[in-house]
Structure 1
Amino acid sequence: MKVIDLFAGAGGFSTGATMAGCEVVWAANHWPDAVEWHSKNHPEAMHLCQDLHQADWSLVPKHDMMLASPCCQGHSKARGKAKGNPQHDASRSTAWAVVSAAEYHRPEFIIVENVPEFLNWQLYHPWEMAMSALGYSVAPHIIDAADYGAPQHRVRLFLVLAQSEHPLHLQIPRGQHIPSREFIDFDSGKWSQIDKPGRAAATLERIEHGRRIHGDRFLISYYGMTKTSRSLDRPVGTITTRDRWAIVDGDRMRMFSRFECRDAMSFPDTYQLPDNHRLAVHLMGNAVCPEPVNQIISAVRAAA
């Protein structure tokens, strides 16, 4: 099965498709760094660095399945979705590139990934009607990556579109959760002493709270809604585009390495990352978890 990947980012969708036995023939993104690293990891695919509103779909190779992760920032609760915000409005509009590409190529299947709030978009129903007019049934699936092979709680929407009369509702068995301790390397990384000058009082409070509950080893979040400690026996919380999770080990602590972010996303350990930590974390936090994609695509192929 030949696959193309719109808004390909670091390549989570493409990697999951490869795991499922598909051939990724084309991938595109507007961000040069993402295209560079996608091409390093998927050299067999054609690559395009462009705003996909302006893409010439006639230049895209034939394919059986389209994967697409339109920009989610305009929908996400984490970034706000106020009407009239030009940046967010432009972000939301990227979803129309999926319609444009589908109108030209009419692949048998399309899988669209986004945050669940995508379903609340004011233009979601017109978007869905446009896809229906092209012959696609639409089946929304909201899944937590932790239920499908990633050691991370990451709730995302996957719209499964098929050239069929009835929506393709997938039945994918949930698996056992993978604890974060399985990918954390306590023998590597840049550790620092917890009780060092300048350490924020709020951080020290969270660490003390974690010690009372979890003992000497646990995780803490530096920002977001989860500002408490977290057991290493659970999947980590959502990996984001900047450093978020810290490991506490006795009297020392450090942030996740870029490789631990990669492992938490369920990328294979052979997946290449830039040496620049900040860029690598941004790429991973903006990616799709490959292992859940593998299971979704495998289920789609089995149901076809």
Structure 2
Amino acid sequence: MRAIDLFAGAGGFSTGAVQAGCTVVWAGNHWQAAVDVHAANHPHTEHACQDLQQADWRAVPAHDLLLASPACQGHSPARGKEKPHHDALRSTAWAVVSAAEYHRPPVLIVENVPEFSDWALYPAWQLAMEALGYALAPMVIDAANHGVPQHRSRLFIVGTRSKHPISLKLPQREHVPASAIVNFDAGAWSPIRTAKRSPATLRRIHQGRRDLGCGRFLIPYYGSGSGLTGRSIHRPIGTITTVDRWGVVRGNRMRMLRADEARAAMGFPGDYQLPAQHKAAMHMLGNAVCPPVARDLIASLLEAA
């Protein structure tokens, strides 16, 4: 099956598609750094760095499967106060309609945060897709149920050119704990109690020690949506975001999660190439699709076809 990847980012959707047996023939993204990372890991894919809302779909190869991850920042509850640029981010979803109108692939999958379906224009977007002949099957999937060592719930909308939405039976895999991806012998550790450490961080660490009764655990480094205490390493980590979110505590020292650990937490292969700069790597990983989720979803699609 030939696939294309819209808003491809670091390439999680593409990686999962390849693992499921697809050939990714084209990938597009507006950020050159992300295109470079995707190209380094998928050298046989044709790449385009452009605003996909302005794309000439005649230049995109024919395909059987359209994968798309429109910007989620305008829908996510973690975005904070409403900002003007969120309108532009939400509108990226219309590029999926434009691509599907021209190519009419048999199957498409759109990924976003669950709040995407609360978008004021979601009913119009859904009607547009249905007008093109697609029956939509939305499903919220937690990556932890697919062997990813991270709780990450995302909306996947499967569109098929059929009379009725497709019904898929997805595998339910055993949860993998954070201990599988955190290396307590690596990284730049610092004392927990320093003059620059915020009182809120110290409270979370104190609460984590009390609640978990151990000296090794994770803490959310900022409060919004992350809780106020520690998180056991014997369960999947919480959602990896585009900025440093998770601190690792070891006795009286701590550090932030490393990019290679975040890569493992997202389910990417250990040899998957990332930017050398930590900030850029974390940004791409936080925006990515977990490859094992994409793999299981596409494999189930192929089985049902």
User: TM-score scaled to structure 1, two decimals?
Assistant: 0.97
Residue 179 (structure 2) pairs with residue 178 (structure 1): no
Question: What amino acid sits opposite 2:229 in the alignment?
Answer: T
**CA–CA distance in 1 between the matches of 2:171 and 2:12?**
21
Any conservation in 2 of the 1:74–1:80 contact (CA below 8 Å)? no
Mapped pair 1:200 → 2:198: yes
Which residue is 2:109 aligned to?
Answer: 111
Deviations 1:229-281 (A, max 9, x none): 10001100000011110111111111000000100000000100111111111
Consecutive unaligned residues in structure 1, runs of 5 or more: none
**8 Å Cα contact 1:75-1:81 kept in structure 2:** no
Distance (whole Å) between structure 1 residues aligned to residue 81 and residue 21 of structure 2 = 37
The whole-number CA distance in structure 1 between the counterparts of 2:71 and 2:167 is: 24
The residue that corresponds to 1:37 in the other structure is: 37
Q: 1:78 aligns to what SS in structure 2? A: helix
Structure 1 residue 133: deviation in Å? 1.2
Match for residue 164 of structure 1 among 159, 162, 165: 162
1:220: how far off? 0.2
After TM superposition, give the deviation of residue 28 of structure 1 in Å: 0.3
Deviations 1:179-232 (A, max 9, x none): 000011111111111123322222122111111222110000011322321000
Structure 2 residue aligned with 1:219: 218
The percentage of counterpart residues that share the same residue type is 59
Equivalent positions of 1:1-304 (< 5 A) are 1-80=1-80, 82=82, 85-214=83-212, 215-223=214-222, 224-226=224-226, 227-304=228-305
Cα separation, 2, equivalents of 1:37 and 1:279: 11
- CA spacing shift, 1:195–1:81, aligned 2, 3 Å: closer
Q: Counterparts of 2:75 and 2:220 in 1: how far apart (Å)?
A: 23
Distance in 1 between the 2:289 and 2:57 partners? 23
CA contact (8 A) 1:142 1:156 kept: yes
Q: 8 Å contact 2:78–2:225 — kept in the other structure?
A: no
Shift of 1:80: 4.7
Distance 1:203 1:137 in 2: 47
Hey, what's the Cα distance between the residues in 2 that align with 1:52 and 1:199?
Answer: 42
Cα RMSD, aligned residues only: 1.1
Q: Distance in 2 between matches of 1:200 and 1:292?
A: 36
For residues 241 and 134 of structure 1, what CA distance do their matches in structure 2 show? 34
Query: Residue 229 of structure 1: SS of its match in structure 2?
Result: coil
Q: Cα offset for 1:81?
A: 7.6
What is the alpha-carbon distance in structure 1 between the residues aligned to residue 150 and residue 251 of structure 2?
A: 23
- Give yes or no for contact 1:81–1:88 (8 Å, CA) kept in 2: no
